[in-house]
Amino acid sequence: MTSHLRPALVVFGTLTLICGVLYPLAVTGIGAAAFPSQAAGSIVEVNGKAVGSELIGQSFTSPKYFWGRPSATAPMANNAAGSGGANQGPLNPALLEAVKSRIEALKAADPGNTAPVPVDLVTASASGLDPEISLAAAQYQVHRIAAARGLDAQQVRVLIERQMRGRVFGFFGEPRVNVLALNLALDGKSAHTR
């Protein structure tokens, strides 16, 4: 028994040191050196004060701001510790009811808007934390925001174009905008990521 226990404990201790200590330290160090902003959470600051992250959505409810995707996290919206989808299928009555109420809220906030509601404004992403919306979702909200801020709709469209992020490597995904960056631009605040 002793002849098997000692080698097993040595292997266990060695693997624990390599996999549980050295490897995580090396990966964390390389990440911090190569991608300092991302490793620190892509925190967005305005005038030296943290206002959010480029990577995690935030809830905006005022009509003068762009609204992001609904959050599927619990116990509170956009809770990074509770990341994950709702796992509700397209025929689930709870999902259908949630989508219906979100459409009604969008229509109530902008009764004159007869455009089709973009799907990303009424459904959560797989992580429940998506910080970005499609260009269609941003354009859908232009008139509401322009009216609430007393701006010309074209001014709001120009802000969307300036904040647009293209496809990754030119072909992955769709063009999109980060909701926090867009709302900070609306407020005329210059932000930087630390």
Torsion sign (Cα): 95, 98, 104, 109: negative
The pLDDT tens digits for 43-72 are 888 888 888 888 888 889 899 999 999 887
Q: Would you state the pLDDT for residue 146?
A: 94
21 or 45: which leads in pLDDT: 21
Give the residue-averaged pLDDT of 169-191.
88
CA distance 62 to 72: 20
Give the residue-averaged pLDDT of 92-103.
90
Mean pLDDT taken over the chain: 89
Phi-psi map region of 193: left, alpha, beta (phi>0 left; psi -120 to 50 alpha) = beta
CA distance 80 to 73: 8
* ω into 24 cis (within 30 of 0): no
Q: Would you state the pLDDT for residue 81?
A: 74
Phi, psi angles (nearest 5°) of residue 187: -80, -5
Q: Would you state the pLDDT for residue 190?
A: 61
Q: Would you state the pLDDT for residue 193?
A: 63
Is residue 170 very low, low, confident or very high in pLDDT (cuts 50, 70, 90)?
confident
Token pair 């490793």 is at which residue? 39
pTM, two decimal places: 0.80
